């Protein structure tokens, strides 16, 4: 599942992964503090790789897209609950998905409304394995390398029909990438939950980076039902990272989300420069459709 910072054609140099013990310790610490802290990686970049497609309602860059407000800080705990999580459960809550993932479960261009200013969005799909949204700061791997599972559905949404020869779900020019989603089904709801937690932990190291390096912000958790949840992090340019973490009170420029609905799970990377409200809307749409 390709999302977060390793996007487009050119991939950042892969950094060694944090030790398993570090992840376990970070997860334990996150459950207590509401924020994950892992050792900062070396080799900082000033900007998130290939973040593109303009910002709507905020600073624009390149093509066209959106922005907005807010953020909270939960943890990818088994229950999905955490401080600041946005709860949508209750009467009329959606049921967790069952059965195989199909193209109908993937995010459609209509999720990016006219207000984003993105324009026409081209969609490409494929099924199989491949790199997903994990970034160089966590160590880029394929989905199978991370989860050991079978193939998944990959979908690319972009403003140009020109795709990367190595993967048609990636735009030939990273600036044309609007979003990329990878989704699959697990044998059980509990296994899907486990996969989603592991995929979220893969992104955690990117919340702590040396000043000047792009960074992910706090984790925001959405809960539409007990087994229909999403956790997403906004992305911030290196120019906004002056302390080693995302700046408080600033709007993100796109970001990454880990989704889970029943036996379905996935990762959505939003390359378009969306702010908080727009990210929340797109993530909710992707989660409802998964």
Distance CA 244, CA 260 (A): 29
Distance CA 264, CA 266 (A): 7
pLDDT surpassing 90 at residue 284:
yes
- In this prediction, residue 23 carries a pLDDT of 34
Q: What mean pLDDT is reported for the chain?
A: 76
- In this prediction, residue 91 carries a pLDDT of 52
Indicate the pLDDT class of residue 286, thresholds 50, 70 and 90: very high
Q: Give the length of the chain.
A: 290
Distance CA 224, CA 152 (A): 24
Question: pLDDT tens-digit profile of 43-87?
Answer: 444 445 555 565 543 333 333 333 333 333 333 333 333 333 444
Q: Which of 93 and 285 is assigned the larger pLDDT?
A: 285
- In this prediction, residue 226 carries a pLDDT of 92
Question: pLDDT tens-digit profile of 100-135?
Answer: 999 999 999 999 988 788 989 999 999 999 988 877
Distance CA 22, CA 39 (A): 8
* Percentage of residues of the chain with pLDDT beyond 70: 68
Question: pLDDT tens-digit profile of 176-199?
Answer: 999 999 999 999 999 999 999 999
């Amino acid at each position: 599942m390709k999302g977060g910072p390793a996007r487009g054609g050119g991939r950042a140099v892969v950094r060694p992964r944090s030790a398993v013990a570090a992840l376990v310790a970070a997860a334990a610490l996150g459950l207590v503090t509401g924020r994950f802290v892992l050792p900062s990686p070396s080799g900082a970049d000033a900007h998130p790789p290939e973040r593109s497609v303009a910002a709507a309602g905020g600073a624009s860059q390149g093509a066209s897209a959106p922005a907005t407000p807010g953020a909270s800080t939960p943890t990818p705990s088994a229950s999905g609950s955490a401080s600041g999580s946005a709860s949508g459960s209750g009467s009329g809550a959606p049921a967790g998905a069952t059965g195989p993932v199909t193209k109908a479960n993937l995010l459609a261009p209509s999720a990016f409304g006219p207000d984003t200013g993105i324009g026409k969005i081209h969609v490409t799909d494929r099924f199989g394995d491949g790199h997903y949204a994990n970034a160089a700061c966590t160590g880029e791997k394929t989905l199978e390398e991370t989860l050991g599972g079978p193939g998944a559905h990959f979908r690319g949404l972009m403003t140009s029909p020109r795709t990367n020869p190595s993967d048609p779900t990636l735009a030939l020019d990273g600036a044309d990438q609007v979003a990329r989603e990878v989704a699959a089904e697990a044998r059980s709801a509990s296994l899907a939950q486990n996969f989603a937690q592991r995929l979220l932990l893969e992104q955690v190291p990117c919340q702590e980076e040396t000043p000047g390096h792009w960074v992910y912000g706090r984790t925001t958790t959405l809960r539409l039902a007990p087994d229909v949840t999403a956790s997403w992090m906004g992305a911030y340019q290196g120019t906004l990272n002056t302390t080693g973490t995302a700046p408080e009170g600033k709007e993100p420029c796109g970001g990454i989300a880990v989704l889970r609905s029943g036996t379905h799970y996935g990762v959505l990377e939003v390359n378009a420069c969306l702010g908080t409200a727009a990210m929340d809307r797109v993530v909710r749409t992707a989660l409802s459709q998964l």
